[in-house]
């Protein structure tokens, strides 16, 4: 199985900060990497697909980059509604999708 490791597990930041979250795959997954945002009590929402493509309706302050094993999600200027948990997910192995353990972004 392809393991996904996110760092840090939690992060404290302030409104207006620029933050970068990291996701690492246990083997190369090309650009088959997606990012989701989950707020408490809610379902995850797709932010970024294929490592760097912004999902329709997602604010442009979110961006993704990377390929192979190392990926990042950057929020250019944190807004109050961005405080949530973020998950990466690989789809290189479409027979076994795996998620990272999540990064909790706190105020």
> Toward other proteins, which CB reaches closer, 69 or 91?
91
Cα 37 from Cα 48, distance rounded (Å): 10
Residue with structure tokens 């302050």? 61
Q: Six-digit token pair at 68?
A: 């192979």
> Toward other proteins, which CB reaches closer, 80 or 94?
94
**Binding stretches for other proteins (CB under 8 A):** 1, 32, 34, 36, 42-46, 49-50, 55, 87, 89, 91, 94-102
Chain-centroid distance, C-alpha 22: 7
> Toward other proteins, which CB reaches closer, 36 or 62?
36
């Amino acid at each position: 199985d392809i393991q996904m490791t996110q760092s840090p597990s939690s992060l404290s930041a302030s409104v207006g900060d620029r933050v970068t979250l990291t996701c690492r795959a246990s083997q190369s997954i090309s650009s088959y990497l997606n990012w989701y945002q989950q707020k408490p009590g809610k379902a995850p929402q797709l932010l970024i697909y294929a490592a760097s493509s912004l999902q329709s309706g997602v604010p442009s302050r979110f961006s993704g980059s990377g390929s192979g094993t190392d990926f990042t999600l950057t929020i250019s200027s944190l807004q109050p509604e961005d405080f949530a948990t973020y998950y990466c997910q690989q789809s290189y192995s479409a027979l076994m999708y795996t998620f990272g353990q999540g990064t909790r972004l706190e105020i």
